[in-house]
């Protein structure tokens, strides 16, 4: 009998019969490991526990708590959910696809008879639990594409037939559990009994293959974990996330709204929301000026020919809006870089003039599909804290490090942790291989020099250059893409940007595209959820509200409000004929940092009694003392 040599992670070698499975190897080590292992990695490929090992190689067994396990568990649970749906609703539904995603999985179903609603979730979960308890073996089989097409056609599963036809493969793999069969590459867990902790979370619409010209499907979202304790913790986080949802808090705090009359994805800022973004924008201007940036403003529309020169028309026009004026085509800007290059070209530049750092809080518009619009986090019109640094090649390293320090400073001010990714050349791109290599090497070198950990994100760079992406981690440990640094040798070439070097000859500069918080709209959405609407004092649109106990104090309240406003404190007064407790609760619901209570005693002594939004109170103090107290707190935290 032929044998193969299997190298385990501890570098020990086991010689087993050819055709043995990872389960056989695990059982040879111990029965407990064989029970715990749900899949394996053979060399660089994930495989099932039942896959025959026909050659020598490195084998790592994947137990339920291994990093790779969760995706496999969730993918298998997607099949379990599809099986449950088919058993409950039979031929009234057709199955399509069901991948694992961040924080869970989904499965898309087509039906012109059954409409899924949240009230169905309990019934589906109950059927999933029954199928899991049955501990059905999950087995892989291969067949020709023609055989698979015939099988799924006989089952009335038209979407599976279309998938196989479009694959263009000679053979395909299927997975069976009980009476359910699905087209899938795998791998999957060995049996359904391993799945013990799952929960359906929501239902949404989704077009087949993401194309709005295709049929509308119903997408059931769910999640799964290795055990119920992890599931409970996740569901608690989801519940907290619902409370922090920026769309909900945006309404409650009267910050912003959307209107179908205005158009989808276009934000309407209310007074408090507009003040909040003004505070952030003023902060941005101040921080950029401190770091040697010049503030510039470009037009909202530029001639279509410019967008063709830049490559946006060829590579990005599906995301752009176009119009025509006097028979001349114009593109509404999705980015701010073109005007910044035109500013640079207005005069001859010397090597001594570089770097030029142009900063713009630029309003841009991008055509996002209606299905992906999501509150402030995905809109069609937004403002970027956009800057372009035009520099000599020998200045790239220092400028990239300067932007990274800027990101670190701002993340610290707002209380975010963050991580970084280096994104490389995408398939759809412009520029030479040599320029892409130079740009990628420059970004990688800067990251390595400062000792910043980072991941490689292959093929996700901008179409004109590689980039460093910064992902902020919020209070719930969720990641949000905000800052980015892009290194571009191509657009300076296309727009013929030059500078005169020490040798008196013209040379080509490099352009760094960068944002610090990115979209102001998106950043505010993230901040609302990060702080749960409880903005720090320096950022709160309303920092204090003065409330009276009786009408006796009305005039004094207005005096206090006026004095605080003169001192630069964002203040309101509440003189409504309501009980004090009611006004205090409303102020707390509005998440105002301080309530200043004024009764007869405070009025007589020229004081106020500050109360925090968490219910705690300070001793009465004069208005001037409160002004100093506020100033000290703002200075401490900002």
Token output for 127: 């059927």
Give Cβ neighbours of residue 514 (< 8 Å, ≥ 6 apart): 386, 387, 388, 389, 403, 483, 484, 485, 486
**Tokens describing residue 171:** 């053979």
Place of tokens 């102001």: 520
CA distance 415 to 534: 13
Of 17, 55, 19, 24, residue with least CA distance to 40: 24
CA–chain centroid gap for 316, Å, is: 21
| Region at 636 (left for phi over 0; alpha for psi -120 to 50; beta for the rest) | alpha
552 — phi, psi (to 5°)?
A: -55, -35
Beta pairing class for 544-548 and 594-598: parallel
Instruction: Name 343's bridge partners.
Output: none
How far is it, in rounded angstroms, from Cα 531 to Cα 512?
Answer: 32
CA 472 to chain centre: 9
The candidate with the shortest Cα–Cα distance to 513, out of 262, 374, 334, 637, is 334
Q: Which residues are CB-neighbours of 260 under 8 A, at least 6 positions away?
A: none
CB atoms within 10 A of CB 521: 23
How far is residue 533's CA from residue 527's CA, in Å, rounded to a whole number?
8
Where are any strands of DSSP class E within 151-276? Answer: 171-177, 180-183, 197-207, 216-225, 256-257, 268-269
Contact in structure between 497 and 511 (CB atoms under 8 Å): yes
Q: Using DSSP, how many helices (H) and how many strands (E) does the chain show? A: 20, 33
Q: Give the span between the Cα atoms of 20 and 102, in whole angstroms.
A: 34
Q: What are phi and psi of 563, to 5 degrees?
A: -65, -45
Q: How many residues does the chain have?
A: 638
* Runs of H (alpha helix) within 253-354: 271-290, 304-310, 312-316, 337-344
Q: How far apart are CA 526 and CA 474, in angstroms?
A: 8
What is the distance between the alpha carbons of residues 81 and 98, in angstroms, rounded to a whole number? 9
CA distances from 587 to 100, 235, 523, 612 (A): 43, 30, 25, 10
**Catalytic residue numbers?**
337, 366, 384, 386, 388, 467, 513
């Amino acid at each position: 009998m032929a044998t193969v040599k299997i190298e385990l992670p501890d570098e020990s070698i086991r010689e087993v019969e050819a055709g043995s499975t990872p389960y056989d190897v695990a059982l040879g080590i111990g029965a407990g490991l064989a029970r715990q292992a749900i899949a394996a990695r053979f060399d660089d490929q994930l495989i099932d526990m039942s896959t025959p090992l026909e050659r020598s190689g490195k084998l790592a067994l994947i137990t339920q708590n291994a990093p790779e396990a969760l995706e496999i568990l969730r993918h298998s649970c997607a099949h379990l959910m599809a099986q449950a749906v088919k058993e409950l609703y039979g031929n009234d539904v057709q199955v399509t696809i069901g991948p694992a995603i961040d924080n869970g999985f989904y499965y898309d179903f087509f039906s012109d008879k059954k409409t899924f609603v949240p009230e169905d979730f309990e019934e589906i979960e109950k059927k999933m639990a029954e199928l899991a308890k049955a501990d059905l073996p999950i087995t892989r089989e291969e067949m020709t594409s023609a055989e698979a097409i015939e099988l799924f056609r006989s089952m009335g599963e038209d979407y599976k037939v279309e998938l196989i036809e479009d694959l263009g493969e000679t053979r395909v793999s299927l997975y069976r559990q009980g009476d359910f069969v699905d087209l899938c590459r795998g791998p999957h867990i060995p049996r359904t009994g391993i799945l013990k902790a799952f929960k359906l979370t929501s239902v949404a619409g989704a077009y087949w293959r993401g194309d709005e010209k295709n049929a509308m499907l119903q997408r059931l979202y769910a999640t799964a974990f290795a055990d119920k304790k992890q599931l409970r913790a996740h569901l608690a986080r989801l519940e907290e996330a619902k409370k922090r949802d920026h769309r909900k808090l945006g309404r409650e705090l009267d910050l912003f709204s959307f209107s179908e009359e205005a158009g989808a994805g276009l934000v309407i800022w209310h007074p408090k929301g507009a003040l909040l973004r003004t505070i952030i924008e003023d902060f941005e201007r101040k921080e950029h000026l401190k770091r040697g940036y010049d503030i510039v403003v470009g037009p909202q529309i530029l001639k279509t020919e410019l967008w063709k020169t830049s490559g946006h028309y060829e590579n990005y026009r599906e995301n752009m809006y176009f119009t025509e004026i006097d028979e001349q085509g114009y593109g509404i800007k999705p980015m701010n870089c073109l005007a910044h290059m035109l500013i640079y070209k207005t005069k001859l530049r010397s090597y001594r003039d570089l770097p030029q750092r142009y900063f713009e809080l630029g309003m841009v518009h991008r055509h996002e599909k209606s299905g992906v619009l999501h509150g402030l986090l995905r809109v069609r019109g937004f403002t970027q804290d956009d800057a372009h640094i035009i520099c000599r090649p020998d200045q790239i390293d220092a400028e990239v490090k300067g932007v990274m320090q800027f990101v670190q400073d701002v993340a610290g001010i707002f209380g975010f942790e963050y991580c970084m990714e280096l994104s490389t050349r995408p398939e759809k791109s412009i520029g030479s291989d040599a320029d892409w290599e130079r740009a990628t090497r420059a970004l990688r070198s800067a990251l390595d020099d400062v000792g910043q950990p980072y991941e490689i994100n292959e093929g996700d760079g901008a179409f004109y250059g590689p980039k460093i992406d910064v992902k902020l981690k919020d209070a719930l440990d969720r990641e949000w893409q905000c800052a980015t640094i892009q290194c571009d040798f191509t657009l300076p070439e296309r727009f013929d940007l030059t500078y005169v070097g020490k040798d008196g000859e013209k040379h080509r500069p490099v352009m760094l595209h960068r944002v610090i918080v990115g979209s102001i709209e998106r950043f505010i959405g993230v901040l609302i959820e990060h702080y749960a609407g409880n903005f720090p004092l320096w950022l709160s649109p309303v920092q204090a509200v003065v409330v009276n106990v009786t009408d006796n104090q009305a005039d004094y309240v207005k005096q206090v409000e006026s004095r605080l406003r003169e001192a630069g404190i964002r203040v309101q007064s509440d003189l409504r004929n309501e009980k004090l407790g009611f006004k205090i609760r409303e102020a707390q619901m509005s998440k105002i940092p301080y309530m200043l209570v004024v009764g007869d005693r405070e009025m007589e002594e020229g004081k106020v009694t500050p109360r925090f939004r968490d219910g705690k109170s300070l001793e009465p103090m004069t208005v001037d003392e409160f002004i100093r107290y506020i100033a000290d707190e703002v200075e401490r935290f900002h």
